[in-house]
Amino acid sequence: MEEIKVWKIVGGNEKPNAVSVEAISETTTEQLLEEVLTASPDLLMPDLHLIGRQTETPGGPLDLLGVDEDGRLVIFELKRGDLTRDAVAQALDYGSYLAGLEPDALCRHINEHSGRGGTEHIEDFSNWYQSQFQRPVVDIGRPRIMLVGLGVDDRAKRIVAFLAQSEVDISLITFHGFKQGDEILLARQVEVSSASEDSQVRSTKLGNQVKLDKLLTDLGIKQGYDALVTSIKSGLGGSAYQWPNTTGYTFSLPEMTTTGSPTNRAYIGLFAPENRKGRIQVLLQARAIEIVKEEKLQEMTKALGSAFALKPNGWGEFWVDGHKLPLNCAEMLAGLAQIIGAGWKTKREKQSSVETEELIAETADGAVAG
């Protein structure tokens, strides 16, 4: 493969000059790559949830397993060095194994293996998936495959290109390390892009938004719905992440997993199912109900002429008429979101305090041992 080179432009606009940036050894990049990708999954793809690392399969340990922004499983086969056709065969083996699992078996596999090596720990993948993507895990589809290495030989690249053109959702990227002073730079190069990324219509964030806007317009409730969205966003604060589904929004807040990795946890959702003819569902996750308390929710929804219902899975909901929103509905939702945001903030502060105490204890133990 042709060597990748990087230059830094110095001297400003008057007398620009290109200075070569030193490439670091493959050995150094090998040592860093997997740890860096695990800690920063956005280097692989945006809004990626890494849910498994070195998870066991009949064909051997699967390097990284994730769920992309569209709710599809992604298999990552990493090689410390050039990718070869053996790596392609290995990745296909993993893909065929996961694709052949029934939904219950797939959930058990993820429940048992998630959380290792800095990935997100998931106790109940079925509920987690439903809360993140507002659809059942049975709709997860076939897994995507991504090969990742520090280079690729011609045969492996040819095979992956052929598979991608044959409608197998497979991609190939390489990383290259460079050193500038005391800093290490990482460059990402897409060698082969999956055909589905280029030509097939997929359930993307933008696609979901288009479908949602059309639904709300067709139902005649877009103005009222948008007002409730604004109320929730203002109450939760700037840390909230808003994800569009085809029937509504899910609002998440950033947290740390038990292994110390960052993730987004869903707290509240606002949905307008087509078959409910303009009625809007406010869906609360168990973690939100724990903050607000069921008694308070009963009191708030009663004032709206609605009723809060707690579900067996720990979630809760209430409904309002999108065509004629109850008086003070937007203000009530803003207040509800403020309570959730304040509770989330308190939880984060306690978590940080515990982590600081553990770090101090570990430092003290190390000093005694030394």
**CATH code assigned at 148:** 3.40.1350.10
| Per-residue pLDDT tens digits for 355-367 | 555 555 555 555 5
Token digits for 163? 């598979």
- Residue 7: CB atoms within 10 A of its CB come to 10
- Distance, in Å, from the CA atom of 5 to the CA atom of 93, rounded to the nearest integer, reads 34
Q: Are residues 127 and 176 in the same domain?
A: yes
CATH code (residue 349): 3.90.1150.20
Res 141: pLDDT: 83
Which range scores top for mean pLDDT: 16-25, 65-74, 230-239?
230-239
Residue 363 counted as domain residue: no
- Tally of structural domains, the chain: 2
pLDDT surpasses 50 at 67: yes
Which pair of tokens denotes residue 141? Answer: 């589809």
| pLDDT tens column, 263-300 | 778 899 999 999 999 999 999 999 999 999 999 999 99
Is the pLDDT assigned to residue 66 strictly greater than 60? yes
Q: Are 172 and 192 in contact (CB under 8 A)?
A: yes
Q: Tell whether 370 is covered by a domain.
A: no
Residue 301 has pLDDT above 70, yes or no: yes
Predicted confidence (pLDDT) at residue 188 exceeds the cutoff of 80: yes
168 and 282 share a domain? no
Looking at residue 201, its pLDDT comes to 39
Give the structural domain span for 122: 6-198
Domain boundary among 151, 173, 198: 198
Q: Determine the pLDDT at residue 370.
A: 53
Same structural domain for residues 20 and 157?
yes
Q: Is residue 262 part of a domain?
A: yes
What is the pLDDT at residue 218?
A: 96
Identify the residue whose tokens are 């903050």: 291
Confidence of residue 343 (pLDDT cuts 50, 70, 90): very high
Q: Judge if 217 and 311 occupy the same domain.
A: yes
Confidence class of residue 26 from pLDDT cuts 50, 70 and 90? low
Same domain, 144 and 235: no
Global pTM value: 0.61
Interatomic CA distance for residues 316 and 305, integer angstroms: 17
369 in a structural domain: no
Q: Is 166 found in the same domain as 44?
A: yes
Q: Which residue has the higher pLDDT, 121 or 337?
A: 337
Pick the closest to residue 168 from 136, 138, 145 (CA basis).
Answer: 145
Local confidence band at 326 (pLDDT 50, 70, 90 cut-offs): very high
Average pLDDT, the chain: 84
The answer as to whether 168 is a domain residue is yes
Say how far apart CA 353 and CA 355 lie, in whole Å: 5
Residues 241-269: tens digit of each pLDDT = 888 888 999 998 887 765 565 677 889 99
Q: Which residues pair with 189 in a beta bridge?
A: 174
Strand, helix or coil for residue 272: coil
Q: Are residues 123 and 220 in the same domain?
A: no
Burial of 104 (0-12, 13-18, 19+ CB in 10 A): exposed
Q: ∠ at Cα 53 (51, 59), nearest 5°? A: 115
Q: How confident is the model over 302-311, as a mean pLDDT?
A: 93
- Would you report the helix, strand and coil content of the chain in percent, each value rounded to 5? 45, 30, 25
The closest of 79, 83, 63 to 29, measured between CA atoms, is: 79
What pLDDT, on a 0 to 100 scale, did the predictor assign at position 120?
86
How many residues belong to the chain?
A: 370
pLDDT of residue 229: 97
Gap between the Cα atoms of 27 and 80, Å rounded? 8
Mention every residue, 6+ apart, whose C-beta is less than 8 A from residue 141.
Answer: 72, 73
Are both 167 and 262 inside the same structural domain? no
Q: How much is the pLDDT for 283? A: 94
pLDDT value at residue 1? 47
pLDDT surpasses 50 at 111: yes
pLDDT at 176 over 60: yes
Position 95 scores a pLDDT of 93
Helix (H) or strand (E) holding 142: none
Q: What is residue 213's three-state secondary structure?
A: helix
Distance separating alpha carbons of residues 148 and 129, to the nearest angstrom: 25
**Mean pLDDT throughout 110-114?**
91
365 located within any domain: no
Neighbours of 314 (CB within 10 A): 13
Q: Do 230 and 90 have their domain in common?
A: no
Identify the three-state secondary structure at position 132: helix
For 122-133, what is the mean pLDDT?
85
In this structure, the number of other CB atoms found within 10 A of the CB of residue 123 comes to 10
Per the model's pLDDT, the better-predicted residue between 177 and 356 turns out to be 177
Within a domain: 366: no
- The model's confidence at residue 138, banded by pLDDT at 50, 70 and 90, is confident
Give the pLDDT score at 293.
95
**Mean pLDDT, residues 133-162:** 88
Q: Taking the alpha carbons of 207, 213, 216, 217 in that order, is the dihedral positive or negative? A: negative
| Tens digit of each residue's pLDDT (9 = 90 or more) over 194-204 | 765 544 434 46
